Amino acid sequence: MRFPRFFGKKRGHRRTGSQAWASLGDAAFHAVLLTAGIVFAGLLLSGVAVPEWRINQHFLATDCTVLGKGLARRTTAADRGGSSTWQPCLRVRYDVAGRTMESWSTPSRSTTTSDRSRAVAALSAWKLGDVVPGWYDPSAPATVVLQRGYNWWMWLLTLLLPGALVSFGGMGLARAIRRWGRSEERCAVPSRFSDILDPLAAGPRQATDRPGVPACDDLVNSPGTVLAYRLPLESPENWTLLGFGLFAMLWNSVLAVLGVGAVIDLLKGKIDWLLLTLLVPFAAVGIAGLVLFVRRVLLTTAVGPTQLEISAQPLQPGGTYEVLLAQGGSGTLESLRLCLALDEQATFTQGTDTRTDRITVWARDIRTWRDLQLTPGARFEARESFTIPADAMHSFASEHNAVRWSIAVHGQPAGWPGFVRTFPLVVFPAEPAPERGDPRREASP
Amino acid sequence: MSTAAETFRPSPRVTVLFSHSDRNYEPLDPLEVRYEVEGLDDEPPRAVEHSVLWFTEGKGEEDLGVHFFERLVAPERLPPTAPMGQFSCRLPRSPLSYEGVVVKIRWCIRVRFFFESGRDYVSEHEFAVGQLPPAQTLIATP
């Protein structure tokens, strides 16, 4: 008997290893999460939520007369430090269905403190003989509370933490059970539970009746001023700018805290050489981060906005379409190039990293302009046309792979680094001819 | 192409005939497949699955889309009572077969046999949808 493999290797495009052990491990992992969620939820419900709910829903109102005041002391074991906490308590008398009861009650949990004098001071809020509202448990009248209401953050904790564990673990376990003993193909057949059990595996939204082709709803919801649609801008530059900004802010905040500490030490006449030595390279990195961020801001704002409108969307292989390019800003552009491109994108895991490779497999210049003089308030506009090749691949997007069409605007401002702004397109597969009289159709095997 | 889940038992032999002998189809074409299985010996399958699907190959993780799927469990439709099988469907509009640089899209039919012992055997046979030329590398971007 061959023992199943625990670990897999990639052999070509196939992975080795035992599917059964992988499924079992997946199911066990999610079962542990589900169990932890249920236990956690049970503890929170029985210890916090249910008692609080009973106080608010089942306890009966009464008037309590304060008879005595005291402190409840809770001391931890000596081997754990032996510390004590103090909580104010009130001895109250109240009426239960014509019967007089006396009991100790704690006014509020929040008054628990490790400082005895503060606890004693808190007791001064009540005077002996005062009548305060209270609520007693009809099934155990000796239990009386002087305060009620809901602790919302505790309820939120009760719902969120165990809820997340139960839903994540439950969905994973249900998915593992559903896949147990099933073939890869049977698991991949879409069902009404697929999106619920495995929402991440659903991949990008697809066009109706065209599997694997991305939907273009987001590309046709912005009408153009001259042509039919204004294309959205795919802007990795803005994310880079945000990244530089966040890095510069966080790094320099840490640097400022360390720097203030060092200055205070210096003012007191103390010199922490280790801190000062560390501050020098830290400051160099912080200044470099700021410089890079400011440079990025200048680059982004120095070049005016680029807009692109298109006559139709989605596109078809063999179709000819018009685009309207509008470039704002000021100064001289040494070149401005409009380019149609087809990229392939593959996402894969390498060790613990998830990497994405993008490669351009087809590109064609639509038009290039030289030495454009941009003037503020009057944007440069040009209307061009282009054709999608008749034998072109259509747009494709699945969970880890994509084939993307786009129009890129490459600009080279005078004295500034160049920029690329990309506008995504969706190309549908060519519509098949309704009846071609293909003799192969009649061929039998 | 046929692959066996386990190699220590003799693998069945599956002969497949496509309705287009060149295995080239266009979107929305009807696809008809007949197959014959031999070499099951004394281990009859308890179920057979037929599927028509596309999958990706290349640098990225494999993605899979099942267009047609059926599972046969009735003994009268399984070998050895029925040594020949067939199934048919109309192909979708997309995706087209594509020979890219880092992304490739392949179409295939799979016939998968499940045996009483718990093992399974899958026979995979590729075909093409559409007639796109292969892509070429132009520019590599980091």
Contact B138 A357 (CB under 8 A): no
- How many CB atoms neighbour CB A401 within 10 A? 28
Give the chain B residue whose CA is nearest to the CA of A392: B132
Residue A435: exposure state from Cβ atoms within 10 A (0-12, 13-18, ≥19): exposed
CB pairs under 8 A between A and B: 165
Structure tokens at A14: 């196939």
- Cβ(A318)–Cβ(A387) below 8 Å: yes
- Cβ(A180)–Cβ(A363) below 8 Å: no
Nearest-neighbour CA in chain B from A189: distance (Å): 6
> Which residues fall within 8 angstroms of residue A420, CB to CB, at 6 or more apart?
A408, A409, A410, A411
Identity at A419, one-letter amino acid code: F
Is pLDDT above 80 for A433? no
- Cβ(B115)–Cβ(B45) below 8 Å: yes
Separation between Cα atoms, residue B5 and residue B124, nearest integer Å: 12
Q: Chain B partners of A210 at a C-beta cutoff of 8 Å?
A: 92-94
Q: Chain B partners of A403 at a C-beta cutoff of 8 Å?
A: 98, 100, 103
Q: Chain A partners of B127 at a C-beta cutoff of 8 Å?
A: none
- Cβ(B8)–Cβ(B124) below 8 Å: no
Q: Chain A partners of B114 at a C-beta cutoff of 8 Å?
A: 183
Contact A209 B93 (CB under 8 A): yes
* Confidence bin at A108 (pLDDT 50/70/90): low
Contact B18 A185 (CB under 8 A): no
Separation between Cα atoms, residue B63 and residue A105, nearest integer Å: 64
Give the chain B residue whose CA is nearest to the CA of A348: B60
Supply the DSSP string of A19-42, one letter for each residue. Answer: HHHHHHHHHHHHHHHHHHHHHHHH
Backbone angles phi, psi at A237, to 5 degrees: -60, -40
Closest CA to B3 of B117, B102, B123: B123
Nearest-neighbour CA in chain A from B131: distance (Å): 8
Nearest-neighbour CA in chain A from B46: distance (Å): 13
Q: Chain A partners of B53 at a C-beta cutoff of 8 Å?
A: 185, 188
Helical pair A236-267 and A273-302, crossing angle rounded to 10 deg: 150
Check the CA dihedral A72-A76-A78-A83 and report its sign: negative
Q: Chain B partners of A362 at a C-beta cutoff of 8 Å?
A: 135-136, 138
Contact A393 B132 (CB under 8 A): yes
Is pLDDT above 70 for A302? yes
Nearest-neighbour CA in chain A from B84: distance (Å): 14
Contact A183 B120 (CB under 8 A): yes
**Structural domains of chain B sorted by starting position, each given as residue range(s) with its CATH number in brackets:** 2-129 (2.60.40.640)
Give the chain B residue whose CA is nearest to the CA of A363: B138
Separation between Cα atoms, residue A283 and residue A172, nearest integer Å: 47
Which of A186, A359, A399 faces B71 most closely, judged by CB atoms? Answer: A186
Exposure b/e, B80-104, CB count within 10 A at least 16 = b: eeeeebebebebbbbbbbbbbbbbb
Structure tokens at B120: 């399974």
Separation between Cα atoms, residue A214 and residue A401, nearest integer Å: 12
Which of B21, B63, B71 faces A401 most closely, judged by CB atoms? Answer: B63
CA angle (B24, B25, B31) in 5-degree steps: 115
Q: Chain A partners of B93 at a C-beta cutoff of 8 Å?
A: 209-211, 429, 431-432
Contact A344 B53 (CB under 8 A): no
Separation between Cα atoms, residue A239 and residue A286, nearest integer Å: 20
User: B59-117: per-residue pLDDT in tens?
Assistant: 999 999 999 999 999 888 887 777 889 999 999 999 999 999 999 999 999 999 998 88
User: Distances from the Cα of B39 to the Cαs of A402, B12, B63, B109, in angstroms?
Assistant: 40, 5, 32, 20
Q: Calculate mean pLDDT across residues A278-304.
A: 88
Q: Calculate mean pLDDT across residues A244-257.
A: 92
* Confidence bin at B138 (pLDDT 50/70/90): low
Separation between Cα atoms, residue A319 and residue A42, nearest integer Å: 63
User: Given the DSSP bridges, would you call strands A60-75 and A10-11 parallel, antiparallel or unpaired?
Assistant: unpaired
Separation between Cα atoms, residue B46 and residue A362, nearest integer Å: 49
User: Given the DSSP bridges, would you call strands A140-145 and A229-230 parallel, antiparallel or unpaired?
Assistant: unpaired
> Which residues fall within 8 angstroms of residue A215, CB to CB, at 6 or more apart?
A204, A205, A206, A207, A208, A426
Separation between Cα atoms, residue A260 and residue A118, nearest integer Å: 35
Which of A394, A400, A445 faces B60 most closely, judged by CB atoms? Answer: A400
* Confidence bin at A195 (pLDDT 50/70/90): low
User: Would you report the helix, strand and coil content of chain B in percent, each value rounded to 5?
Assistant: 0, 55, 45
Contact B63 A342 (CB under 8 A): no
- Cβ(B125)–Cβ(B109) below 8 Å: yes
User: Distances from the Cα of B43 to the Cαs of B3, B118, B119, in angstroms?
Assistant: 18, 11, 11
Residue with the bigger pLDDT between B17 and A14: it is: B17
Q: Chain A partners of B122 at a C-beta cutoff of 8 Å?
A: 183
Give the chain A residue whose CA is nearest to the CA of B55: A398
Residue with the bigger pLDDT between A311 and A12: it is: A311
| Domain ranges within chain A, ordered by starting residue | 1-59+149-202, 60-147, 236-302, 305-425
Most confident residue range from A309-318, A368-377, B75-84? A309-318
> Which residues fall within 8 angstroms of residue A214, CB to CB, at 6 or more apart?
A204, A205, A206, A207, A395, A396, A397, A402, A426
The DSSP symbol for B75 reads G
* Confidence bin at A148 (pLDDT 50/70/90): confident
Structure tokens at A349: 């895991």
Give the chain A residue whose CA is nearest to the CA of B122: A183
Q: What is the mean pLDDT of chain B?
A: 87
Q: Calculate mean pLDDT across residues A84-104.
A: 89
- Cβ(B12)–Cβ(B37) below 8 Å: yes
User: Distances from the Cα of A224 to the Cαs of A173, A309, A423, B18, in angstroms?
Assistant: 48, 6, 14, 48
H or E element in which residue A279 lies: helix A273-302
- Quote ipTM for the complex: 0.88
Q: What is the mean pLDDT of chain A?
A: 84
The pLDDT assigned to A65 comes to 92
Check the CA dihedral B14-B20-B22-B23 and report its sign: negative
Separation between Cα atoms, residue B60 and residue A317, nearest integer Å: 26
Q: Chain B partners of A392 at a C-beta cutoff of 8 Å?
A: 132
* Confidence bin at A234 (pLDDT 50/70/90): confident
The pLDDT assigned to A197 comes to 61
Contact B29 A441 (CB under 8 A): yes
Supply the DSSP string of B39-64, one letter for each residue. Answer: --TT--EEEEEEEEEEEEEESSPP-E
Q: Chain A partners of B96 at a C-beta cutoff of 8 Å?
A: 393-394, 429
Contact A344 B93 (CB under 8 A): no
User: A18-54: per-residue pLDDT in tens?
Assistant: 566 777 888 899 999 999 999 988 888 888 888 888 8
Residue with the bigger pLDDT between A444 and A218: it is: A218
Least confident stretch, A78-82, A94-98, A273-277, A335-339: A78-82
Contact B94 A440 (CB under 8 A): no
Give CATH for domain A305-425.
Answer: 2.60.40.640
Supply the DSSP string of A347-381, one letter for each residue. Answer: EEEETTEEEEEEEEEEEEEEEEEEEEEEBTTB-EE
Which of A185, A350, A394 to substitute to test the interface with B, most B CBs within 10 Å? A185
